[in-house]
Amino acid sequence: MSVENKVRRIVASLFVGLLAVWGQAALEDNAYDAASGSLMVPVIDIGSETSYSAIFSLVSEQPLIWGADEFTEITKDSRTAAIYDGENGTLWIPEIFVLGSLYSLNFTISTTCGFAVCIEPDVSSLQEDGRAGSAVFTTALSSSSTFTCSTCHAISETDGFAVDGLKRPGHSLMNVTKRESYKNGQHDDLRDAVNTCVTEWMNTAALQETDTDWINLLNWFEDQSTADTAELISIDIVDPPVDLSGGDSQNGRELFNTRCLVCHGLDGEGTPLAPQITETGLTPEYIVSRTRTSGLVDSPTYSGLTGGIMPFWGSNRLTDEELIDIAQYVSEGAEEILEMGGDDPGNLGETGCTSDHPKVGQTAVFQPGFHDVSGTARIIDDCTIDLENFTFDGGGIDVRVYVGNAGFFDETEGGFAISDDLVGIAFSGGVLRVTLPAGRTLDDFDSISIWCVAVGISFGTGFFE
């Protein structure tokens, strides 16, 4: 079968019988109704100011032709809008779903089929992968993180604010493909800049040039472009302010709910992206430090970061005056964390497990990470581990004791939990006893972590020896 015939078969399958998504598609989707044969195109951009909506009726299957007599003028914008090119006489539809797969396709336009406008698919233009980069932009790329591109960036802004009224730590990505360099000149290639976010904040493997996610994201960025060139973006990385006096708590609350709401929730009450941050006893000094310097300590792109995966805020996205007000608001309120004292390991009772395994007696010292984690994990018997002289401030999002191998704890890499959620319980030199779940043995791991499940980061790691 020739390539052209194969493509024609795909197109025929696309529009005649296989695409039964009418009713499943959102209103802004281009959709084919297999029952009636009609093709709905909700937004057709004609020129720079006028848009129309139309339903095309199936005129012919050999060749495939649709026709329409009536067009409804609309004012709605859509990234999936079909684009009319009067000069070339074509209609480009950027996204068409076929049994869960995406395509983009050009149609040639004529007036010879008995309708005001007739469209016929140009089989040579059929592209797999389509243009659904918006899904990549707004969806977590892996189970290792709950962050998405849209957590930190909007596509367009007015005076620094997106259409939802929020300002994010990252700059707008409008016309991002038109910039000559990225990350303060650290990268000349957009994919390298994106992978800085993907690997350093989203805890996910770098996107490769041939990855469908990258192709779709790049296509979508191109779709948003409104200019042929774009100015470079400066990220003003500064030290945290030292003088924190004079903060306005009321203004800080208003600022918080337009800057920090995406992750920390309204009034800082927490979301799956980040923990409750208000009424937890955090000091203003800690708040301004994390806001200005959070990020990978050994980042190859940014210098001076002090750890963590909260995106840092540059001063051109959040001024010192605004940050001081936010710190004043967040630091108010009593700490609501249960304090655990210093129990004697000998008073914890018998476990009922045997002590035959050669690893019994091994210890792992937690290397300091975040949330004041420290102490020593000791294997007591074949199913029990005591965390001795254990400290942890009780913060984070779904934090558990995890074990794994070679310092890898994500469940996709073989890690698994050996405790319940520890958030809200502060340990100050006490003992936490944990037990291996059924079916697990000491052979299944060689390292231990206080692991933040939601964002895939270790607050403290130790290796048994």
Is 185's pLDDT higher than 70? yes
Same domain for 140 and 118?
no
What is d(CA 133, CA 219) in angstroms, rounded to the nearest whole number? 7
Residue 217, domain member (yes or no): yes
Mean pLDDT of 128-142: 76
Within this chain, do residues 113 and 140 fall inside the same structural domain, yes or no?
A: no
The residue among 305, 331, 357 that closes a domain is 331
Instruction: Indicate whether 61 and 90 sit together in one domain.
Output: yes
Q: How confident is the model at residue 25 (pLDDT cuts 50, 70, 90)?
A: very low
Per-residue pLDDT for 257 more than 50? yes
- Kindly state whether residues 189 and 289 are assigned to the same domain: no
Q: Is residue 366 part of a domain?
A: yes
Q: Is the pLDDT of residue 14 over 70?
A: no
In a shared domain, residues 319 and 349: no
| Euclidean distance between CA atoms 261 and 268, whole angstroms | 7
Q: What is the mean pLDDT of residues 280-306?
A: 87
Quickly state the pLDDT bin for 460 (edges 50, 70, 90).
Answer: very high
What confidence tens digit (pLDDT) does each residue in 32-85 have? Answer: 676 777 888 888 888 767 888 889 999 998 888 999 998 988 876 665 688 888
Who wins on pLDDT, 333 or 183? 183
Q: Is residue 57 located within the same domain as residue 8? A: yes
CATH (domain of 288):
1.10.760.10
| pLDDT at residue 2 is higher than 70 | no
148 and 79 inside one domain: no
Instruction: Between 453 and 3, name the one with better pLDDT.
Output: 453
123 and 148 inside one domain: no
Instruction: Tell me how far apart the alpha carbons of residues 277 and 269 are, in angstroms, rounded to a whole number.
Output: 7
pLDDT (0 to 100) of residue 445: 96
- Indicate whether 86 and 113 sit together in one domain: yes
- Say yes or no: 154 and 117 in one domain: no
**Mean pLDDT comparison of 203-217, 342-356, 432-446, highest-scoring range:** 432-446
Residue 256 lies in a domain: yes
Query: Would the CA dihedral through 47, 52, 53, 54 be positive or negative?
Result: negative
Output the pLDDT for position 243.
Answer: 96
Mean pLDDT computed over 92-106: 72
Q: How confident is the model at residue 164 (pLDDT cuts 50, 70, 90)?
A: confident
Quick check: is 231 in a domain?
no
pLDDT at 16: 46
- Average per-residue pLDDT in the chain? 84
Within a domain: 357 = yes
Domain with 139, as residue range(s), is: 134-224
Structure tokens given for 447: 């390292």
The answer to whether residue 236 sits within a structural domain is no
Query: Based on the structure, what is the number of domains in the chain?
Result: 4
Stronger pLDDT, 277 or 181, i.e. the higher one: 181
pLDDT digits (tens, 9 = 90+) for 443-458: 999 999 999 887 678 8
pLDDT greater than 90 at residue 325? yes
151 shares a domain with 123:
no
Lowest mean pLDDT among 252-266, 338-352, 353-367: 338-352
Asked which of 98, 131, 164 is the last residue of a domain, the reply is 131
Residue-level pLDDT at 122: 87
Quick one: pLDDT at residue 405?
95
**CB-based contact 136:217 (threshold 8 Å):** yes
pTM of the shown model: 0.60
Least confident of 103-107, 249-253, 256-260, 292-296: 103-107
pLDDT band, residue 135 (cuts 50/70/90): confident
The model's confidence at residue 8, banded by pLDDT at 50, 70 and 90, is low
- Domain membership flag for residue 87: yes
118 pairs with which residues across the strands?
Answer: 67, 110
Structural tokens at position 105: 């396709």
Whether the CA torsion 6, 11, 16, 17 is positive or negative: it is positive
User: What is the 3-state secondary structure of the chain?
Assistant: CCHHHHHHHHHHHHHCCCCCCCCCCCCCCCEECCCCCCEEEEEEEECCCEEEEEEEEEEEECCEEEEECCCEEECCCCCCCEEEECCCCEEEEEEEEECCEEEEEEEEEECCCCCCEEEEECHHHCEECCCCHHHHHHCCCCCCCCCCHHHHCCCCCECCECCCCCCCCCCCCCCHHHCCCECCCCECCHHHHHHHHHHHCCCCCCCCCCCHHHHHHHHHHHHHCCCCCCCCCCCCCCCCCCCCCCCCHHHHHHHHHHHCHHHHCHHHCCECCECCCCCCCCCHHHHHHHHHHCECCCCCCCCCCCECCCCCCCCCCCCHHHHHHHHHHHHCCCCCCEEECCCCHHHCCCCCCCCCCCCCCCEEECEECCCCCEEEEEEEECCEEEEEEEEECCCCCCEEEEEEECCECCHHHCCEECCCCCCCEEEEEEEEEEECCCCCCHHHCCEEEEEECCCCEEEEEEECC
